[in-house]
Amino acid sequence: MHGGKRNNAGRKQGSINKVKLELREAAREHSQAALETLVGIMNDGEAPHAARISAANSLLDRGHG
């Protein structure tokens, strides 16, 4: 059999390749700092309203889906 699709060839659907796994791990290292930054922006009375609302929405999205 030459060319074409072969059954059960390649990575299984839903499996994570090495690059995605490394990127996910790197992002997780900065999760706490990112959350603290968002909370800081949300609570900063001097920040533009749009920035505060955006930070609040991001926090709600992460916390409540």
> pLDDT tens digits, the chain, 65 residues: what are they?
577 777 877 767 777 788 888 888 999 999 999 999 999 999 999 999 999 999 999 999 988 87
The alpha carbon of 27 is separated from its chain's Cα centroid by a whole number of angstroms, namely: 7
Q: Would you list the domain boundaries of the chain?
A: 29-64
Query: E strand or H helix at 30, and its extent?
Result: none
Q: Which residue has the tokens 């968002």?
A: 38
Q: What share of the chain in percent tops pLDDT 70?
A: 94
Give the pLDDT confidence of 24-39 residue by residue, as tens digits. 899 999 999 999 999 9
